Amino acid sequence: QLQLVESGGGLAQAGGSLRLSCVGSGFTFSVKAMGWYRQAPGKQRELVGGITSGGGASYADSVKGRFTISRDNAKNTLYLQMNGLKPEDTAVYYCSVVVALQRYWGQGTQVTVSS
């Protein structure tokens, strides 16, 4: 069955960096656009950014210039490089894909940024 498994979250200080990974299985990873989302406590889940199957990425204004999305199709892995972290980046981060008109989510990985 389709699975998305995130890893790489943790605690970072403001100004620090983390890299999240998301391994996909059960679908043809290389042909699918992928997305990163986040949900902070008490807030709605929001789009962080996405990447096309060809590698073109786009970002929310709040992370533009600090975060980079990339993918390794040979490893079925999506990445989110987060630099210049801010306390407001604290959230659970999810990767996501739409297959056959259904959106799938990973289990999420917690990112906590201390000031």
- The pLDDT of residue 37: 98
Overall residue count recorded for the chain in this entry: 115
Candidates 50, 54, 113; CA nearest to 80 is 50
Q: What is the pLDDT of residues 74-105, one digit of tens each?
A: 999 999 999 999 999 999 999 999 999 999 99
For 74, the token pair is 């040979």
Mean pLDDT rounded to a whole number for the chain: 98
When pLDDT is cut at 50, 70 and 90, the band that residue 71 belongs to is very high
pLDDT digits (tens, 9 = 90+) for 22-36: 999 999 999 999 999
> Tokens at residue 115, please?
């000031």
Q: Is the dihedral of CA 71, 108, 4, 52 positive or negative?
A: negative
pLDDT value at residue 2: 97
Q: Please tell me the distance from the alpha carbon of residue 112 to that of residue 26, in angstroms, as a whole number.
A: 30
What DSSP designation does 89 have? G
